[in-house]
A = this chain, B = another copy of it.
Amino acid sequence: MNTHNIINFLREKGLKVTSQRLAICSFILSRKDHPTAEQIFQELRDEYPTISLGTIYKTLHLLKDLRLIQELGFNNGSIRYDPDMELHVNMICSKCGKIYDYKTKNVKNLWDAILSELNVKPVGQRIDVYYECDDCKNINST
């Protein structure tokens, strides 16, 4: 979703397009590494020195309610935000915590087979796989 689309989307919902809101939306909707609210805050401070953490949270909740992003709670209590609303596997390095999304047709097919086995109508899902990423493997082997 580019800036133009975001502006139109907000306007359609009757929401005001402020520079802060636009910046936060653009930021999270383009990121693939599931940042925390704090990380978003730190990265936007350079360009928007007066931006507030409260605004970050409010905008993230807004995007969640509008179904443009999802929250992911992790085991240390931290909450990360993921703009990919389609079925995918969160590949999480158990050492450094880095995350990337894995999404293929084949995974979708296999997942559908699991869902049909469950015999319920799902309204959502979350799939995490922990592994050791290449960077961490290399550090350990040197």
Contacts and interface: CB of A to CB of B under 8 A. Distances in A.
Interface of A: 70-79, 89, 91, 94, 102, 104, 106-107, 110-111, 113-115, 117-118, 120-132
Contacts of A102: 118
A115 B111 CA distance: 11
Given A117-B104, A124-B130, A72 B71 contact: no
Work out how many copies of this chain go into the complex.
2
A114 B109 CA distance: 9
A77 B75 contact: no
A121 B111 contact: no
Contacts of A118: 89, 91, 102, 107, 129, 131
